[in-house]
Amino acid sequence: MEFDHSYSVGNFSSILNLEKLVPCVPGGRVISMVSPDEAKAEIKVNMGAMGMTFTGTVKIIEKTASSAKMQVKAREAGGQGNANATVTFGPGTIHTSAQVTGKAASMGEGTVRGVLDGLITEFAAKLPSM
């Protein structure tokens, strides 16, 4: 699934601070920092009537003064599902390419798309306060 959203942030370099960036995702938190460019993280998501927790990594794989590409790889706690994404930050835009499998995907593409779009929209709205 592909998503495009707009955002604003005072200083683009704050996007590269994963300790501040990850908590901007609703339900997201950093578990530990592996390096300045990689964090172990967790996100709690409500998908329809189901609540799920995914744990995994957020890694900055490319960065310049005005853009960044991050890779998210997560596994559903206690389940068979995965949630993976490539997130590209450009000047004022976020492009997200996401894949969801397992119990979350069984909710149907419309539900998954709506939940992911809502998460990214809320995330983008929190970025100016970073």
**CB–CB of 6/80 below 8 Å?**
no
- Of all residues in the chain, what percent are helix, strand and coil, respectively (each to 5)? 30, 50, 25
Output the domain CATH number for residue 34. 3.30.530.20
Give yes or no for residue 7 having a pLDDT over 80: yes
- Domain count across the chain: 1
Give residue 106's pLDDT.
85
Give residue 71's pLDDT.
98
Rounded-to-integer distance, Cα 75 and Cα 71, Å: 14
Residues 45-100 have pLDDT tens digits of: 988 778 899 999 999 999 999 999 999 999 998 878 999 999 999 999 999 999 99
The residue segments making up the domain with residue 99 are 2-129
